[in-house]
Amino acid sequence: MIEEFANNVDAGLSQSEKTLPSKYFYDKKGDALFVQIMKMPEYYLTRCEMEIFSTQTLALIESFQADKNVYFELIELGAGDGSKTRKLLAALSDEGYQFDYMPVDISQNALDQLEKSLQQALPHVSVIPKHGDYFEMLGSVKDSHHPKIVLFLGSNIGNMSDAIASDFLYQLGANLSKNDKLLLGTDLIKPADIVLPAYNDESGITRSFNINLLHRMNAELGANFDPGGFAHAPEYDENEGIAKSYLLSGCDQSVDINAIGKTYHFHAGEKIHTEISRKYNDEIVCGLLQQTDFSIAAKFTDKNHYFADYLLNR
């Protein structure tokens, strides 16, 4: 685990344009910071998707075309705190559907908390948590022959490049059967004055989330980053439709990383690219699906058309 972290960090920091993989945001502190980000007034994504789940719950369920007499698996990739899914779980259970809810997350901590809170809130819903990487989980999903509805919400797909996202959807489709469904949450392209503040909230929570990566390398890889020596610097290009987060070096500095046995140099103003958050429209989503077995069966948006959940049919 640490070796993989060290290898990924070395690979990213050895490039001429330095990068760090965003998946390392999510340690215990990062999970907690992300939960806080989702509550920030500027971070509209969660509220918009929550609106879709709250106001269109039955329409969403209808789009699944599930049979009340046939058991199915509801698999959520990257479940986090499951706050949106709760509405859906309650409605599915009230409507008499037979299903297991299988949240998949790379964070054991997030899964433990989710399982505990669901046991209290929805004791009738059967929850089978699965710990692991989405990609690792794709293979294990294939083993059962029950119908599947996969949820991939929150525009989590936006943290992948288009090439990786398209490959991911291809692989997901290859591990599902005909008529299985995927509900894909996507943040829609919109002006910078709405998107950029979502990645640069006034309270500085997103800044702490980004800087936490440095704290994590210090704690786990024996690095000596000075977290005060880097600034959180998000960018968003409306034409491209991609928000990008950077850590900006405030001065010329060198950092030793013991677990790698190397020293890395950062010049004043040099950026480490830490995350992309892609924004979508129908054309981009269709482009991602081109090589896959999925087609768009329905689209649900919030009243402002900021966010869309696409129901894809395999």
Binding site for ligand AVI (CB under 6 A): 37, 45, 154-156, 158-159, 199, 206, 209, 275, 277
Would you say the C-alpha torsion 117, 122, 127, 132 has a positive or negative sign?
negative
Q: Beta strand 99-105 with 130-131: parallel, antiparallel or unpaired?
A: parallel
Give the distance between the most distant pair of CA atoms in the chain: 65
Of all residues in this chain, which one has the CB nearest to ligand AVI in the complex?
A: 277
- Residues paired with 44 in a beta bridge: none
Minimum CB distance to ligand AVI, residue 252 (Å): 28
Q: Which is nearer to ligand AVI, 83 or 206 (CB)?
A: 206
Q: Which is nearer to ligand AVI, 155 or 301 (CB)?
A: 155
What are the distances in angstroms from CA 43 to CA 24, 201, 309?
Answer: 21, 8, 17
Q: Which two tokens stand for residue 272?
A: 């480490």
Minimum CB distance to ligand AVI, residue 235 (Å): 13
Minimum CB distance to ligand AVI, residue 302 (Å): 15
Q: Which is nearer to ligand AVI, 6 or 33 (CB)?
A: 33
Minimum CB distance to ligand AVI, residue 31 (Å): 11
Length of the chain: 314
Q: Which is nearer to ligand AVI, 83 or 155 (CB)?
A: 155
Minimum CB distance to ligand AVI, residue 141 (Å): 21
Q: Which is nearer to ligand AVI, 53 or 199 (CB)?
A: 199
What's the one-letter identity of residue 100? D
Instruction: Give the span between the Cα atoms of 45 and 164, in whole angstroms.
Output: 22
- How many helices and strands (H and E) does the chain possess? 11, 13
Q: Which is nearer to ligand AVI, 242 or 260 (CB)?
A: 242
What's the one-letter identity of residue 184? L
258's CB contacts (< 8 A; 6+ apart) are 221, 222, 223
Minimum CB distance to ligand AVI, residue 29 (Å): 14
Minimum CB distance to ligand AVI, residue 92 (Å): 24
Q: Which two tokens stand for residue 195?
A: 């998107």
Instruction: Give the span between the Cα atoms of 130 and 138, in whole angstroms.
Output: 11
Q: Which is nearer to ligand AVI, 232 or 314 (CB)?
A: 232
169's CB contacts (< 8 A; 6+ apart) are 157, 182, 288, 289, 292, 294
